[in-house]
Amino acid sequence: MSRRTRRRGRRWLLAALLVLPALLVVSVLPVLLLRVVAPPTTVYMQVAGGGQHEWVALESISPWLVLAVIAAEDQRFVQHRGFDLIELREAVYARLRGERLRGASTITQQTAKNLFLWPGRSWLRKLIEAWYALWLELLLPKSRIMELYLNIAQFGPAVFGAEAAARAHFGLSAAELDAEQAAWLAAVLPTPSLSRIDRPSASLTRRQAWIRRQMAALGLQHAAPLLHQPDAAAHAGPPRQPA
């Protein structure tokens, strides 16, 4: 090995020793702050032009909405560590069979995306999303990740978070949502800027009905570990039937 090659190798090593600690600080510090700080806004909100948003604690959000977003978006959220390898494998197999590419992002990944990243699709963006999702899972409890998700997710055009969504769509607080209303809010998550709960399309109606079936299959006890309420089902009361 020549002297020039050794010098170049030392320079790369020095650069890595300088960059890696800086990268860790930039990544870890914001996530640690999220343990105690409620973010007033996110990168995604700012790019979208802002909108209605009001932070509320997880205890002030209906358990039905917690269950609804799990049923709709990430049914193994309580079990996995940020990445649903089962769902990812199934998505890959479906793609290999020639089916349409489907998303396999977990609630943790979506939280990372909504907090730190810009709208769009690219491999770089997915890598950064995965990096932040890893730190969210390492440094925050699952209940806090769910609290963050429900407070920053988009539930309609310029409507962010469960409280603003409940008031905009139903004239209620997030704590007052029943199972039917929670399923409607979860149904709009894939296309919040296009979906209309007051004038639902046929596809949105089908998705809401599917979410209700998934909620019934999982049971409210599925969300109880996130709510610090082992008897959450007893306190929530029965779901009201749609009029």
State the Rg of the chain over Cα.
20
Three-class SS of residue 20?
Answer: helix
Specify the higher pLDDT residue, 40 or 172: 172
| Cβ(84)–Cβ(76) below 8 Å | yes
Residue 46: predicted pLDDT:
85
Please report which confidence band the pLDDT of residue 183 belongs to, taking 50, 70 and 90 as the band edges. Answer: very high
Mean pLDDT over 191-212 rounds to 95
At 33, the amino acid letter reads: L
- pLDDT tens-digit readout, 221-243: 999 999 864 433 333 433 433 33
What angle separates helix 179-187 from helix 63-73, to the nearest 10 degrees? 40
| Strand order through the sheet with 52-53 | 52-53, 159-160, 154-156
Specify the higher pLDDT residue, 183 or 13: 183
Residue 91, pLDDT > 90, answer: no
Mean pLDDT over 152-179 rounds to 96
Three-class SS of residue 154?
Answer: strand
Residue 48: predicted pLDDT:
81
What angle separates helix 202-218 from helix 63-73, to the nearest 10 degrees? 110
Class assignment of domain 57-236? mainly alpha
Going by C-beta distance under 8 Å and a sequence separation of 6 or more, which residues neighbour residue 9?
none
> What residues does each domain of the chain span?
57-236
Instruction: Tell me the percentage of the chain whose pLDDT exceeds 90.
Output: 59
Residue 96: predicted pLDDT:
61
Which one, of 62, 70, 59, lies nearest residue 222 by Cα?
70
Please report which confidence band the pLDDT of residue 84 belongs to, taking 50, 70 and 90 as the band edges. Answer: confident
Which one, of 214, 218, 217, 190, lies nearest residue 204 by Cα?
190
- pLDDT tens-digit readout, 119-137: 777 888 889 999 999 999 9
CA 196 – CA 14 distance, rounded (Å): 54
Please report which confidence band the pLDDT of residue 3 belongs to, taking 50, 70 and 90 as the band edges. Answer: low
Q: Whole-number mean pLDDT of the chain? A: 84
CA 208 – CA 14 distance, rounded (Å): 54
Please report which confidence band the pLDDT of residue 99 belongs to, taking 50, 70 and 90 as the band edges. Answer: low
Specify the higher pLDDT residue, 51 or 131: 131
What tokens were used for 72? 């709709």
CA 54 – CA 155 distance, rounded (Å): 13
pTM of the model: 0.82
What tokens were used for 139? 């440094």
